[in-house]
Structure 1
Amino acid sequence: MAPDLSRRPTATTEHPFKLRKRATRRTLSDWLILAAAILFGALIAAPFVIILINSFKSPADYATSGPLSLPHNLYFDGIANFWKRVNFPEKLWNSFFISGTVAVLAVLISVFNAFAIGIGRVRGRTWIIVLFLLANMLPQEALLYPLYYMFKQVGLYDNVWSVIIIFTVIQSAFGTYLLSSVYGTFPREILEAASLDGASRWQILWRVIVPISRPTLAVILIFFFIWTWNEFLIPLTFLVSNSNQTVPVAIAVLQGDRLMDVTTTSASALLGLIPTLVFFLIFQRTLTRGITAGAVK
């Protein structure tokens, strides 16, 4: 009898799990890239680990064992001392209010500007975008005296709204430059279809463009918040009162008074880092979706 050829295993009749396992086999270069990424991540995380260790270490423990050893006993006086000295809840609210307001206002202004430049196709569009790009390249030191004189004249010096106005303009300049290039490539067919359906320009903006570009706007909002939170020079110059200071300014001013030991300094850095870290972890999925949104059509 002739053998039954239908029972012979072929490449197409293999178990799908085996095919999937064979397709995901890693090569030597993949392992090298993974090892390099782990090493790079460890180097980035090392300063944060050192800050975390020394924040719960007493000055005597730090003097005897050094900065790299684990604390023998948890020491919370450094965090408590910094919390009381600077009135940390007040500084935390100032930073949150300034950063959140700047992020929201800068995104709104960027959307309006980019809609006019990228979709409205105003005259001199290229030169306007170049001007916004040049505005982002100006160093903050060059803006201090003119802004100081201007806010002195209008009575907003030593007011949180002076910092909000400055950073809203700075961040919206970058947001306008970025969104103008994005909206410039927006499909014209979608806009024409919405216009034929009777939608006004305001409706096209809020019901068509903004929902489609929501991942990009979310990424910009997150970066604007973090960038404004970490700003130091302009808040230091324009917020001289203790009640108006932000977290980075309060940390620097208290360190300048030479009243803190090394462990209290580490505790202050930890308290200044935790809010931005929590904010980043909360919106990590939004940030990842926004970055990868343009990868798949």
Structure 2
Amino acid sequence: MSAVLDETTATLEASVLEPPKDREGRQRGRRGRSRGGGPTRRTTGDWVVLLVAIVLGFLIAVPFLMILINSFKSPADYSTSGPLTLPTSLYFDGIVAFWERVDFPQKLGNSIFISGLVAVFAVALSMFNAFALGIGRVKGRLWIVVIILLANMLPQEVLLYPLYFMFKEVGLYDSQWAVIIIFTVIQSAFGTYLLASVYGTFPKELLEAASLDGASRWQILWRVVYPISRPTLSVLLIFFFIWTWNEFLIPLTFLVSNDTQTVPVAITVLQGDRLMDVTTTSASALLGLIPTLVFFLIFQRTLTRGITAGAVK
């Protein structure tokens, strides 16, 4: 009898001490099992989608695999076996030649400096503009957003001569700050368009509550709007960094000196008029790809959280 009482007491203590969420989850699991529920079986459509995704992923990965393979091939090995075979022996002279010929650490620092500042400045400018358009409700906001969108759709070739003349007059030609200013404006145009639509649906109750508490416009932006929109701003920061890193035409036009050039511009040094070393070019592409890949892997979790933010309420 005492054993039965002890067992009953232990069961009651466990049920009281068990968190409510755990009890609810356990009860739902029991109800699911009682209804005959089990692991969901994949349908034929699911397997087709999975197969298509694998094929697309393989096609996307093929160029990167070719760059990786040919980066460690000698020119003789490439000429005899072609670009699709594995190297017979590891060849590092292509990487060393590109590293020394273009002073890769300097070009890497220039790209990180330009891309980092553009990402930070463009996100900040996009947030201020979107706050004025989406929450501040300035007059003619719709037309302003349309003009920003149309300006963002202009090709860079159209902007080259006006920008060249402008920065030549102010003495910023062949300066990294010219590229930083240009890409800050270009990237912030897209960020303003995106954030303005997001801030336009911002809960008015939060803004009214903050105003009743005596918060100023700056305090509302910094203490209410910014913490809630931080995942979206993080995604924009990552995209702006990668987009600016991969830009080629404007840096090629405005960065003439060897000391100010970026990694994509430095890769073109290896391409001659009638001769191109494929293995060294592949090595240069590999070195230019590694920093962005590392950056993406570091902020992959931030990117995933930012994309899925708001998907589940």
Flag structure 2 segments of 5+ consecutive residues without an equivalent: 1-28
Give the whole-Å Cα distance in 1 for the aligned partners of 2:269 and 2:310: 43
Give the whole-Å Cα distance in 2 for the aligned partners of 1:87 and 1:276: 18
Aligned to 2:61: 45
SS in 2 for 1:75: coil
Correspondence 1:140 to 2:156: yes
Once the two structures are superposed, what CA deviation does each residue of 1:20-75 show, in whole Å capped at 9, x if it has no partner? Answer: 6x342111111111011000000000000010000011111111211111111111
AA paired with 1:214? Answer: R
Aligned to 1:158: 174
By how many angstroms is 1:229 displaced?
A: 0.4
1:31 and 1:18, CA in 2 relative to 1: closer, same or farther beyond 3 A? farther
Superposition TM-score, scaled by structure 1 size: 0.92
1:62 and 1:194, CA in 2 relative to 1: closer, same or farther beyond 3 A? same
Correspondence 1:186 to 2:202: yes
Correspondence 1:245 to 2:238: no
Aligned to 2:191: 175
Give the whole-Å Cα distance in 1 for the aligned partners of 2:218 and 2:290: 39
Residue from 62, 67, 78 that aligns with 2:83: 67
Correspondence 1:85 to 2:101: yes
SS in 2 for 1:295: coil
Once the two structures are superposed, what CA deviation does each residue of 1:222-253 show, in whole Å capped at 9, x if it has no partner? Answer: 10001100000000000000111100011013
Residue from 262, 267, 271 that aligns with 2:287: 271
SS in 2 for 1:263: helix
Aligned to 1:294: 310
Residue from 130, 133, 136 that aligns with 1:117: 133
Give the whole-Å Cα distance in 2 for the aligned partners of 1:257 and 1:149: 29
1:231 and 1:18, CA in 2 relative to 1: closer, same or farther beyond 3 A? farther
AA paired with 1:41? Answer: G
AA paired with 1:61? Answer: D
1:17 and 1:47, CA in 2 relative to 1: closer, same or farther beyond 3 A? farther
By how many angstroms is 1:257 displaced?
A: 5.9
Aligned to 1:228: 244
Residue from 38, 58, 83 that aligns with 2:74: 58
By how many angstroms is 1:201 displaced?
A: 1.0
1:54 and 1:18, CA in 2 relative to 1: closer, same or farther beyond 3 A? farther
By how many angstroms is 1:254 displaced?
A: 2.5
Aligned to 1:6: none
Aligned to 1:9: none
Q: What CA RMSD, in Å, does the superposition of the two structures yield over aligned residues?
A: 1.7
SS in 1 for 2:85: coil
Give the whole-Å Cα distance in 1 for the aligned partners of 2:255 and 2:36: 63
SS in 1 for 2:310: helix
Correspondence 1:128 to 2:153: no
Aligned residues: 285
SS in 2 for 1:294: coil
By how many angstroms is 1:262 displaced?
A: 1.2
Give the whole-Å Cα distance in 2 for the aligned partners of 1:283 and 1:179: 21
Give the whole-Å Cα distance in 2 for the aligned partners of 1:48 and 1:115: 40
AA paired with 2:111? Answer: S
By how many angstroms is 1:145 displaced?
A: 0.7
Aligned to 2:6: none
Once the two structures are superposed, what CA deviation does each residue of 1:9-29 show, in whole Å capped at 9, x if it has no partner? Answer: xxx978849956x34211111
Q: Percent identity?
A: 79
Correspondence 1:32 to 2:55: no
Once the two structures are superposed, what CA deviation does each residue of 1:108-144 show, in whole Å capped at 9, x if it has no partner? Answer: 0000000011000000010000011011011111111
Flag structure 1 segments of 5+ consecutive residues without an equivalent: 1-11
1:238 and 1:17, CA in 2 relative to 1: closer, same or farther beyond 3 A? farther
By how many angstroms is 1:154 displaced?
A: 0.7
Aligned to 1:204: 220
